[in-house]
Chains A and B, each alone.
Chain A
Amino acid sequence: QKEVEQNSGPLSVPEGAIASLNCTYSDRGSQSFFWYRQYSGKSPELIMFIYSNGDKEDGRFTAQLNKASQYVSLLIRDSQPSDSATYLCAVKRSNTGKLIFGQGTTLQVKP
């Protein structure tokens, strides 16, 4: 089992819709969770981080964390074509503090 798992996609949504991206992780002791966006050929950029169970909202983005079920998700409201990218879920290992990435989900927002 991979430490951090994501569906590679592609996930295709129409412009204006809600995009839902999911991630599961295996280290039950993990406390810190991150979502990065990566455009093709570019370095990842931080979108959101979440440490506590529940929802965290920032503009059009909402991160959701459920530690009991070991999943974290990212919702993108009013999706725009510029949101088309690969979204990487990352989890900080509880014992070493190292950040481990999932394989990423490719999102396509169609005009």
Chain B
Amino acid sequence: GAVVSQHPSWVICKSGTSVKIECRSLDFQATTMFWYRQFPKQSLMLMATSNEGSKATYEQGVEKDKFLINHASLTLSTLTVTSAHPEDSSFYICSAAAGNSPLHFGNGTRLTVT
């Protein structure tokens, strides 16, 4: 089945620094990957759609200059949280699908900004 790998699984950083999260599709090519964020006891909120070879499309209210997305190949998308602040602390999850099959999720990255 489709496997999505996400790295790192957790990260602690200081306020003002940047953090990069990687998402890889291991056994299929993903022209589109999705990035979600989940705060405690809340549901997954779609942040942006990452398109291979083109700019990401962001959901309303998500700052594109703060959450930089790069989808340089068919198997890798990265999310960089720039100038992180404590309110950016959250669980970030990427997902991808092979063709029209259902989305599969990476294991998520728990970001804590101190």
| Secondary structure of the B contact surface, majority rule | strand
Chain A positions within 8 Å of B, measured between CB atoms, are 32, 34, 36, 41-46, 49, 88, 90, 98-104
Known: A41-B110, A43-B108. 13 other contacts (CB 8 A): A43-B93, A43-B106, A44-B44, A49-B102, A88-B44, A98-B34, A98-B46, A99-B34, A99-B46, A99-B95, A100-B46, A101-B43, A102-B43
Closest to A100 in B: B46
Chain B positions within 8 Å of A, measured between CB atoms, are 6, 34, 36, 42-46, 49, 93, 95, 102-108, 110
B106 partner residues in chain A, CB cutoff 8 A: 43
A43 partner residues in chain B, CB cutoff 8 A: 6, 93, 105-108
Closest to A99 in B: B103
